[in-house]
Amino acid sequence: MFRMSKPWALMLALVMMLSVVLAGCSGGNNNKEGSASPSASSAAPSESAAPSESAAPSESAAASEGIDVSKLEPVELTLYFPGTPPKDEKKVEEKINEYLKTKINASLDIRMLDWGQYDQKMNLYVSGREVMDIIFTAAWNGHATNVGKGAYLALNEGLLDEYGKGIKSVVSQAILDGAQINGKNYGVPALKEMAEQGGILFRTDIADELGLTEKIQAVKSPADLIPILEEVKAKKPDWTPLYVKDGENLNSHYMNKFDFFGDTKLEGVVLKDGTDTTIKPAMEYPVYKDYLNIAREMFTKKLVNSDAATSQLSPTDALKKGNVFMVVSPLKPGKDAEMAAAANLPGKIGQVGITSITTSTGETTGSMLAISSTSKNPERAMMFIDLLYTDKYLNNLINFGIEGEHYTLNGEIMSDAPGKANYIAGSSTWMLGNQFLNYIWDTEAVDKWDQFKKFNEGSINSPALGFTFDAEPVKTQVAALKNVQSQYAPGLETGGVDPAKVDEYYNKLKQNGLDDVIAEKQKQLDAFLASR
């Protein structure tokens, strides 16, 4: 049931913005993906859709308007985001750079870092003041903490107004405001779903083979998974029934519904689907300990991977291995088809939602592109980000590769190219700008963006929606707490460590400044709520 919480105006603005975007998609505006994604009763896609590879790209990008490319010196930009580099990365990069030369006289060096190493490497780069340009950042991987370290430039101090006009034409001010820290944007939020539901992705072919489909679809809580996973273990002994890892497990924020206010690695939360704005450590909520016990039972029964606490494989890469039955995941409409394409398992992934659907600042800031404070070309970096929000050709090129080689296109519906040589940044489209510019795979629902709208409108708002914690006043305590968290949380939350250790974990946090951090969080949240 939809409930308006205190910051109702922000969420209403978010929904209205998405309604406008989606309305544009379903009408005659072919600059939006859905414009040529026909419903069951619609006509064939318009021939005026984004250009094919055989034609010269159109000059439709708003960012290019008014730019005299001849007056720009050539520069090389770096783009960092998590993922496994596809085999044709350099070939696609060359195609991107041919296009960027004509638009902003720049070239792009894509630097994808494996999921399991991304946070660690970025922390090293930030601490070492590595020269970088564009960086993927999010509430769940330490955005607020990195802002406190001075890692990113404040974009609304000239950059966004001067070189991000295209962004401001499609991203509402409500979304930009919702991503701010102390009134400043340190990243541009992606246009995507603005709500989340915790649940599971599973192999439908194996579920059908074992007669488990109806049981899986009836799951209402993590505990309901245990007998299902036991049956998989018994009948498929060489398979991993459930793959989990640090950050992707039963106690991930999308499963336990904790709102961390911008950094899921920093203690002190409220419940996204609750009304209480009193901040407490996660372990003081019954759901946290309940899920620790379930995780422990799964681990001791060997229903999850034995290296859960240390594994660096993403859930996508785990499914790609071909012997993983299920993963936990934040869900949205079409996540199953998206994951199936990314894991090279077309038509073999299903999804089941377990938790309520919620919206917090973690969702509005769950995917952003920032400009490094070490960038030597921040203006050109802003121009490039702007193109990702307005230029359909570039957006699809960087996400899906080269038409005819990595996919075939019928209107705006993609199919596998001969030989199925998918480039796929595919499951990462939510990271790179305006997802409503994306083509749709033929395995996805043609009304995908209408489903996104309903999903967003049906969410429960966190009582802290719009609030992002500024860690600067307690940065010394934050650093100490994160060290403690890295020692205890991975083992506890994946089941590898006895839940009795949670008291030791709690005491260590208390000894390293937990009370100071929670007091500062509460002070800032109270001030935010009072200002609303």
Half-sphere exposure of 232 (CA within 13 A, CB side): 31
Q: What's the confidence (pLDDT) of residue 443? A: 82
Distances in Å between the Cα of 465 and the Cα atoms of 188, 397, 416, 469 are: 18, 34, 40, 12
Ramachandran assignment for 364, one of left (phi > 0), alpha (psi -120 to 50 degrees), beta (any other): alpha
Write phi, then psi, for 453 (nearest 5 degrees): -60, -50
Tokens 């997802």 correspond to 435
- The CATH classification of domain 196-357, taken from the options 3.90.190.20, 3.90.25.10, 3.40.190.10, 3.40.50.720: 3.40.190.10
How many other β-carbons are positioned within 10 Å of the β-carbon of residue 7? 21
Neighbours of 531 (CB within 10 A): 8
E-assigned strand segments in 175-333: 188-189, 196-203, 240-243, 258-259, 270-271, 324-331
How do 134-137 and 368-371 pair as beta strands? antiparallel
Buried (b) or exposed (e) across 50-78, using 16+ Cβ within 10 A? Answer: beeeeeebeeebbbbeeeeeeebeebebb
CA atoms within 13 A on the CB side of 417: 13
pLDDT for res 178:
78
So what's the pLDDT on residue 65? 57
So what's the pLDDT on residue 322?
95
User: Which of these, 135, 139, 140, lies nearest to 152 by C-alpha position?
Assistant: 135
The two tokens of residue 501 are 């250790």
Determine if residue 466 is left, alpha or beta; phi over 0 gives left, psi from -120 to 50 gives alpha, anything else beta: left
Assess contact for 187 and 179: CB atoms under 8 A: yes
Q: What is the pLDDT of residue 1?
A: 34
Euclidean distance between CA atoms 311 and 308, whole angstroms: 5
Write out the two tokens for 90: 């350099």
- 3-class state of residue 367 by DSSP: coil
Longest dimension (CA), the chain: 67
Residue indicated by tokens 């088809």: 337
The answer to whether the pTM exceeds 0.75 is no
Give buried/exposed letters for 311-349 (b at 16+ CB in 10 A, else e).
bebbbbbbbeeeebbbbbbbbbbbbbbbbbbbbebeebb
258 strand-pairing partners: 271
- Measure CA of the first residue to CA of the last residue in the chain; give whole Å: 24
Q: pLDDT below 50 — which residues of the chain?
A: 1-63
- Distance CA(500)–CA(497), nearest Å, equals 8
pLDDT digits (tens, 9 = 90+) for 157-193: 899 999 999 999 999 887 888 788 888 999 999 988 8
CA pair distance 120, 134, nearest whole angstrom: 17
Structure tokens at 358: 């919620």
Per-residue pLDDT at 48:
30
Separation of alpha carbons 254 and 266, rounded Å? 15
Q: Distances in Å between the alpha carbon of 427 and those of 61, 268, 338, 396?
A: 24, 31, 6, 13
